[in-house]
Structure 1
Amino acid sequence: MVNLPTNINEYVEPTFEDYFELLKPKVMRLVVFTAAIGLLAAPYSVHPVIALASLLCVAVGAGGAGAFNMWWDADIDSIMKRTCDRPIPSGRVTSQQTLILAIILSVFSIVFLGLFANVVAAGLLAFTIFFYLVIYSIWLKRRTPQNIVIGGAAGAFPPMIGWAIASGGMSFESTLMFLLIFIWTPPHFWTLALFMNQDYSRARVPMLTVTHGLMATRRHIFFYTILLSIVAVSVGISSLGGSIYLLVAVPLNIWFLAGSFRILLRNDEKAKADSFRVERKVFVFSIFYLFIHFGLIGVEAFLERAFLAV
């Protein structure tokens, strides 16, 4: 991590939009959604005010973690085409401002989640922020092609946090939701890396595509998609799932497997010739895949509560 010089001649006060972008709002959206599903799926009742306040703390914590990542990776972001317009590389926000924001948001979220919910949920949130900054961003990302495999755990904790908000602990079901995100993360990001490989190579980030080549990455994507399908079906036959979940999830996983198999069969020349059309389609699908699966878990939980209330 380095402090980057500003790209503008005169200092301009950052706008609210600049600060908000530091929080990685797209990632925050997924974090809050999966945490909310974890909270809903837990067989415990939580007062709506407590639930909303706790989820707000999770959102703030996710924003703090995102700001920490923006602060540390500013030098990489300035090199990569996909990230060079972020607030720090573009000179709209300084590294110091970002670090201060990250610390304030992180401390606020952990303390107030402990007050609103319980110590277990707050501890999990604190560990998630620590894991994302120290284990993934600082330690793994620039050192090993397994960065996204191990580091993916940071994005998999939110449903466990949601479950802990309601229950005060962890369970087999919350671990299944963790695994669903954890196993989904590698094929999702490796598919992105297939068509963004030059960016990672230029920034010297040892993604699997850079260290082992595109063909090896294709094989890893297919293998992890098989594992993901097993986990997804396991969720369906657990207390989290049900007939509605399986009715939708099974075809989704067949499609994902078919898409990853198509990626496996493609060579570099064919992929470059059509600008990685198949890889881009599978990448976009993988985003909807995760939202739909957690949405189905939420539907099953809602129907279960409605049935018990009758």
Structure 2
Amino acid sequence: MRQSPSGHGFADSPQVSSRPAPTSLPGRLLARPAAYLALTKPRVIELLLVATIPTMLLSDRGTVNLPLLFATLFGGWMGAASANTLNCVVDADIDKVMKRTARRPLAREAVPTRHALVFGVVLGAASFLWLWWAANLLAGSLVVATILFYVFVYTKGLKRRTSQNVVWGGAAGCMPALVGWSAVTGTVGWQAVVLFLVIFFWTPPHTWALAMRYRDDYEAAGVPMLPVVATEQVVTRQIVIYTWLTVAATLALVPAAGVIYAAVALVAGTWFLVMAHQLYSGVRKGRPVKPLRLFLQSNNYLAVVFLGLAVDAVIGGATVSEMLGF
């Protein structure tokens, strides 16, 4: 619901709009709605699609319930939009300092802070009520828990106090897996927990690679991201460790899926590990490195793994554990 704090589910985008303020009448009329949309960080919500759809398909292999799927995505989108908007409210002061976030609506005062706060709260309440009605109470409650965790635990509690902020704060970005599973089954199965862990372990290498590129921005804003307080060798070693944990988590799901997912997880995991080790090796040997490349490719990795899971679940058939007689 990319959701990831700064690259962890509700990850911050590295791109900053530099377009001038509109001068035409249509441009001025659309400027305010566009600013409210920007508060939700729409590109960040892509993780909602990546995580929720395959999880829902896996929970009922071989069946595609399109009405429930779209209803859950809409409710999840409102929840993620709420969390991202409230994150912008809390972080408005540091967004003004960081170059890559200086064009966000509250940083450039395109939207009154009070209005943004009301907008975020209303979206959160609507998300809960919608999911309660369209799916079940558990799905709606999990979305509320995600919003509260992201805003109060990560943004207000961890982000400015510890270099491990994205490790624990990244849990918010993992929640779409639990929401999607619960929307279909009314419970939280072990498969959903494993998918939660996939995103949980993926978030640190994804975010720290971005933070290596924008280290000066974080330092200027007083945010103690790991690349700000540790050497590049320490950071890239941690990236390798969490990449291995990510790949291990994807493979832990193989018994509940079919051979298509197993093959995709193995090949994509090998590719992701090679990239992480290349970054670490380059830093250790003192060569110029491009951490932003790992950040961007990590998005592709997660998308490929979850796409493989979705295709595998739609096709259905025997799972790996069934094939092995378990």
> Cα 1:95–1:290, aligned 2, differ >3 Å: closer, same or farther?
same
Is the Cα contact below 8 Å between 2:247 and 2:265 reproduced in 1? no
| Aligned counterpart, 1:3 | none
Structure 1 residue 303 and structure 2 residue 315: aligned? yes
Following TM superposition, by how much is the alpha carbon of 1:197 offset from its aligned partner in structure 2, in angstroms? 0.6
The question of whether the paired residues in 1 share the 8 Å contact of 2:258 and 2:317 is answered with: no
Tell which deviates more after alignment, 251-260 or 153-162. 251-260
CA–CA distance in structure 2, aligned partners of residues 32 and 99 of structure 1: 25
**Residues 305/111 of structure 1: CA separation in 2 closer, same or farther (3 Å cut):** farther
Structure 1, residues 178-227: CA drift from partner, whole Å, max 9, x if none? Answer: 01100000000011111111111111101011122222111100111111
1:69 aligned residue: 87
What amino acid does structure 1 have at the position aligned with 2:211?
A: A
Kept in 2, the 8 Å contact 1:160–1:178? The answer is yes
Indicate if the aligned counterparts of 1:46 and 1:166 stay in contact, CA closer than 8 A.
no
Q: Provide the C-alpha distance between the structure 2 equivalents of 1:248 and 1:50, rounded to a whole number of angstroms.
A: 27
The answer to whether residue 145 in structure 2 is matched with residue 127 in structure 1 is yes
Whether the aligned pair in 2 keeps the contact of 1:225 and 1:260 (CA below 8 Å) is yes
Alignment partner of 1:187 is 2:199: no
**Which AA in structure 1 matches 2:274?**
A
Alignment partners' CA distance in 2, 1:179 and 1:292: 17
Q: Which residue in the other structure is 1:226 paired with?
A: 244
| CA displacement 1:41-92 (0-9 Å, x = unmatched) | 1128675333322221111111011101011101111111111111111121
Partner of 1:137 in structure 2?
A: 155
Partner Cα separation in structure 2 for residue 115 and residue 24 of structure 1: 26
CA deviation string 1:282-303 (max 9, x = no partner)? 1111001111111111111100
Q: Tell me the equivalent position of 1:5.
A: none
1:93–1:304 distance in 2 versus 1, CA, 3 Å: same
Alignment partners' CA distance in 1, 2:49 and 2:123: 15
Letter of the aligned partner of 1:216 in structure 2? V
Partner of 1:4: none
- 1:34 is matched with 51
Greater shift, 33-42 or 153-162, is seen at 33-42
- 1:174 paired with 2:203, answer no
Query: Does residue 266 of structure 1 match 2:278?
Result: no
Deviates more, 1:159-168 or 1:258-267: 258-267
Q: Provide closer, same or farther for how the CA distance between residues 306 and 258 of structure 1 changes in structure 2, counting only shifts above 3 A.
A: closer
Q: How many equivalent pairs are there? A: 291
Question: What is the TM-score when the length of structure 1 is the normalising length?
Answer: 0.88
Quick check: 1:160–1:174 contact (8 Å CA) kept in 2? yes
Counterpart in the other structure of 1:285: 297
- Tell me, which stretches of 5 or more residues in structure 1 are unaligned? 1-7
In the alignment, structure 2 segments of 5+ residues that lack a partner are: 1-20, 22-27, 320-326
Measure the CA separation in 2 of the matches of 1:233 and 1:122.
29
Preserved contact between residue 120 and residue 169 of structure 1 (Cα < 8 Å): yes
SS in 2 for 1:82: helix
Could you tell me how far apart the structure 2 residues matched to 1:50 and 1:212 are?
A: 45
**Structure 1 residue 153, shift from structure 2 partner:** 0.4
Larger relative contact order (CA 8 Å, sep ≥ 6): 2
- Cα distance change, pair 157–95 in 1 and its aligned pair in 2 (3 A): same
- Corresponding position of 1:16: 33
Q: Deviations over 1:101-122 (max 9, x none)?
A: 0001000110121111111111
Post-superposition CA distance 1:246-304 (Å, at most 9, x none): 22222221121111111112238956xx5x43x22211110011111111111111001
Q: Match for 2:313: what amino acid?
A: A
The answer to whether the Cα contact below 8 Å between 1:195 and 1:280 also exists between their aligned partners in 2 is yes
Q: Separation in 1 of the partners of 2:317 and 2:143? A: 27
How far apart are the structure 2 equivalents of 1:172 and 1:148?
Answer: 24
> CA–CA distance in 2 between the matches of 1:130 and 1:216?
31
